[in-house]
A = this chain, B = another copy of it.
Amino acid sequence: MLTLFYAPQSCALASHIALEETGAQYQAELVDFNSNQQRAAAYLAINRKGRVLALATEDGVLTETPAILAYIAQRFPDAQLAPLHDPFAFARIQEFNSYLCATVHVNHAHGGRAARWADDPIAIAELRRKMPETVLAAFQLIEDDFLKGPWVTGDQFTICDAYLFTMALWLERDNIEPEIQLPRVAEHRRRVNSRRSVKTVMAYHAR
């Protein structure tokens, strides 16, 4: 049995949607950020990084969204969540997800998690101030180029769509108005939101 350790509307949502899309049995276990549970010994024994997400499998615990999304797609091939037999097409999926992980999510983290990279309150305030600009710039490439439509890679829903949807849910909190500034991303978000799997999963991610 797979167990997904998640916090509501964190990046774990992407893997949660992907798991639900497969129709497989899994458990979802809340990691409570309000009580700093991600830094408690019980959770650090699961994931030494002290962050969500983590996916416990029969073979061990996996972390890092791009790795877990690809694992779900490979483990449940019938769900057709990625092009598994074409190295170039698979690389396109990995490229998009790596960009979300290492650029979009990182830029976003300079808002709420600025203290990762600075101690000085003046510097932290500056990182927070600039954050909406860098998040918007990163999303602009998605809006203009990477999002093929109707789904990220074209006609097929993939793990990329679950991940982009998750990041796009953070836009308003980052002082970006997707309907005005990123209309194609906004339309994509509505399209993903209408899927049955997403409705099921979002019940766990109310804030």
Contact = CB atoms under 8 A, between A and B. Distances in A.
A153 to B, nearest CB: 12
A48 B141 CA distance: 8
A181 interface: no
A64 B123 contact: no
A122 interface: yes
A94 B130 CA distance: 31
A92 interface: yes
Interface stretch (A34-42, A55-63, A170-178, A185-193): A55-63
Contacts of A141: 48-49
Interface in A77-122: 87-88, 90-92, 94-95, 98-99, 101-102, 105-107, 110, 116-120, 122
A117 B105 CA distance: 13
B95 A98 contact: no
A70 interface: yes
Contact of A60 (B88, B105, B126): B88
Given A48-B145, A98-B64, A102-B102, A127 B117 contact: yes
Given A71-B87, A75-B87, A88-B57, A94 B117 contact: no
Oligomer copy total: 2
Given A49-B141, A88-B59, A98 B130 contact: no
A62 to B, nearest CB: 5
B98 A71 contact: no
Contacts of A126: 118-120, 122-123
Interface of A: 48-49, 57, 59-60, 62-68, 70-71, 74-75, 87-88, 90-92, 94-95, 98-99, 101-102, 105-107, 110, 116-120, 122-123, 126-127, 130-131, 134, 141, 145
Given A71-B87, A117-B131, 7 more contacts: A48-B145, A59-B88, A60-B88, A67-B91, A98-B102, A117-B130, A117-B134
